Amino acid sequence: MDGFFGIGIARKALDASQYGMDVTAHNIANANTPGYSRQRAILAAAPSFPYPGYNRPMLQAQLGTGVEVKSVERVRSSYFDDQIRKENQSLGGWGVKDDALKQVESILNEPSDTGLQNMMGEFWDSWQELSKNPESLSARSSVIEMGRTLASTFNQLDAKLSRLRDNLNDQVSVKVDEVNNIADRIYALNKDIVRIQTTGVAPNDLRDERDKLVDDLSKIADITVAEQDSGTELIFLNGRQLVSEYSANHIQATPNGLNSGYGDVTWAVDGSPVTSYGGELKSLTDTRDTTIQKYRGDLDTLASTLVTEVNNLHAAGVGLDGTTGWNFFAGTGAGDIALSPDVDDPKHVAAATNPAGIPGDNSNALAIAKLKDTLLTINGDNVTMNDYYRSTITNLGIESQDSSTMVTNGKLYTDLLENHRQSVSGVSLDEEATNMIKYQRAYEAAARVITMLDDMLDTLINRMIR
Amino acid sequence: MRVTNTMLGNTILKNISAAYARIERSEDQLSSGKLYRQPSDNPVAINQALGIRVSLKETDQYLSNISDGLTWLNTADTALKNSTDLLQRAKELAVAGANGTNTQSDLNAMAAEVDQLLSEMVNVGNTNIAGRYIFGGNQTTIAPFSEAGGPPPTAINYNGDSSAINYETEKGVNISVNLPGDSVFKGSTDVFQTLITLRDDLLAGNYAAVSADTSAVDDALGMITDAQMVVGAKLNRLEMTQSRLEDDKLGLTKALSGVEDADLAEVITRLKMDENVYQAALMAGSTAMQKSLIDFLK
């Protein structure tokens, strides 16, 4: 036991307080950093002296040797991480679908005076007007114009829905790139973490960064995570390693010729398809290939029914010039419905049924006008064209409302989970202020101990022997 | 539960933006006057609204059809009334002409007037609306009655057909708005032939025949009156349908407004409440976020 032993203890205390203050400062500095977990310095009593042994000095008792900083650890619960990631991928998926459905809604733009329903109404009305003026060329021209407007409304809706699919496909590529980018970064972080961890130091901030990346990735795709003892985190997608110990496996969007050249998600290394991938990515491809196609299909069915039914009646009718057999519409679906070249000559518009082509004969115009109330078999249902379209809009409304609800609920749940996580890992400024005072006081006290010991040594060295 | 500054911040932000979103919604309802922006806001209501809009549009078209039909029938009614007047005059002439005290020159003068009546009657038969002949059946572009022989004409030919012109006046209901001239003027009695015979009999000074023509003119009058009654009945029916459809339209407009339109009083009240909540959230946020232990440390 020498006289400087106490100074050594106090110096350690100064060091520890300084270290604690540094950790506190780091916490405060990162109070608003996304993904940051608060850290704390783990202080422990240094091993006591003397150690047991044959040649140990004979002392009355073991004496403490002060404090040491064992480690700095981050406070985090992997339980919430798992839950948040699971919820993230479902929320991400619904979010994409909800966005797309809202866009479909604004494309179809119902109810409004410019929507398809109103255009169909105007078209039927124009036939009514023709039935009242069958001799008139101008009433015929107006039927033709309304037909042209209706056809181009169909064309535009179809084109807009197609463009929406194109956009979604672009997003698929973007998200695929994002997945690859994140995988690369996780792989790089894995290497750093392992390297630092083997030196016995905890790479807390790198782990935070990696957790944040995994969080982001979990929004895009349904991934599973397995951490190795070495500190490497393996990421699995559809049962295959996206990030392995040795590399980051990339995925790609392979254009599928059978699906308008839209990308299928495949593994870059061998081109085999990723069949189940969840999250935003899955929702993007599903919405692109199923949801929007369904509404396009509904419009196609409606357009082709319109073409067939109007043409059936029209071809059987007689024009103002006594000719017959003319089509009114051409095309087979919403994308290509157009006015038939047969009615380039307004005289060919068949308002009459009498083959003599009598000018006042309006019976065919009346029959075509009544198509709007005719029950037709459309997609197996016995409905009018109006009802069919109306049920399409209603279904769209319900589906879109559903997805909004899912997004709202998912958001509430992830917010709740995020709050729980923050409750564990977040930085509390009050807490840090308390720690600050704690360390400050401890530092002051340790410094005081040194002063006191200095005084004692002063007595011993300068005052005892004169 | 340990509460951190980020949690507090997140919660405050969430509440403030939720309150703000509600204000935005109410503002939108106020400025657009519509309850819903998209079908997903309320699919059931939008479904109803779409249905009502279709009915409303149809009703408008039917009302326009009825109004046009009324024009046709009213014109026909006036024309028939004119022809009744003409036949009344012819009857007076026939009754007067049957009197043996008339000299041949008196009869000739009467015959000349009957000729005028005849050509007037042809004009009535050729009544048109903006160039469309209403008594020609479906042959609306050519005058249905034309004079033949003479002058003075010895016969009146019918150039139309006997087809009806139908208007749809409500869902699935057709009403013919025309009376083909062959049944009106050349039905059980030929109005024109009756006048021609009367004229010829007057010119021939055949008192007995002129007397017999009186009853033929009576028959013609009866026939025209029958046609007038048919027109009157149709007018009646159309007017009834019209007033019913106008009631429907009013009801549909109200229903549509009930489904689609925002109740201003309600929206404004809600907006005020939302604004209060927003204010409160802002205030709570600003107080809670300002203070921490740091503020009290020296």
Q: Give the ipTM of the model, two decimals please.
A: 0.84
Average confidence score pLDDT of chain A? 91
Question: Which 3 state secondary structure label does DSSP give B173?
Answer: strand
For A345-351, what is the mean pLDDT? 90
Which tokens hold the place of B170?
A: 């409500």
Residue in A31, A110, A372 nearest the CB of B5 = A31
Tell me the nearest-neighbour CA distance from B13 into chain A, angstroms: 12
Q: Which residues contact A323 (CB under 8 A, 6 or more apart)?
A: A347, A348, A357
DSSP conformation class of A235? E
Which tokens hold the place of A198?
A: 């083997």
> C-alpha distances in angstroms, A255 versus A160, A269, A279, B267?
21, 16, 20, 50
Domain B68-254 is classified in which CATH homologous superfamily? f41 fragment of flagellin, N-terminal domain (1.20.1330.10)
CB of B3 less than 8 A from some CB of A: yes
Query: Nearest-5° angle of CA A123, CA A400, CA B277?
Result: 115
Has this prediction a pTM greater than 0.90? no
pLDDT at B298: 65
CA-to-CA distance for A283 and A261, rounded, in angstroms? Answer: 18
B47·A397 Cβ contact <8 A = yes
CB of B7 less than 8 A from some CB of A: yes
Residue in B6, B61, B140 nearest the CB of A422 = B6
User: Which residues on chain A are in Cβ contact (under 8 Å) with B68?
Assistant: 132
Percent of chain A with pLDDT over 90: 72
B47·A370 Cβ contact <8 A = no
Question: Which one has a higher pLDDT value, A6 or A406?
Answer: A406
pLDDT in tens, chain B (298 residues): 888 888 888 888 888 999 999 999 999 999 988 888 889 999 999 999 999 999 999 999 999 999 999 999 999 999 999 999 999 999 988 888 888 788 888 888 888 899 889 989 999 999 999 889 999 888 888 899 988 887 788 888 898 888 889 999 988 888 999 889 888 888 888 889 899 988 888 888 888 888 888 888 888 999 999 999 999 999 999 999 999 999 999 999 999 999 889 888 999 999 999 999 999 988 888 887 777 777 777 6
CB of A404 less than 8 A from some CB of B: yes
Give B 93-122 residues with CB within 8 A of chain A: none
CB of B49 less than 8 A from some CB of A: yes
Instruction: Give residue-wise pLDDT tens across range A148-197.
Output: 999 999 999 999 999 999 999 999 999 999 999 999 999 999 999 999 99
CA-to-CA distance for B135 and B183, rounded, in angstroms? Answer: 9
CA-to-CA distance for B35 and B45, rounded, in angstroms? Answer: 10
DSSP conformation class of A269? T
Cβ(A64)–Cβ(A9) below 8 Å: yes
Residue labelled with tokens 């999250």:
A279
Low-confidence winner among A57-66, A329-338, B192-201 (lowest mean pLDDT) = A57-66
Which tokens hold the place of A151?
A: 């056809």
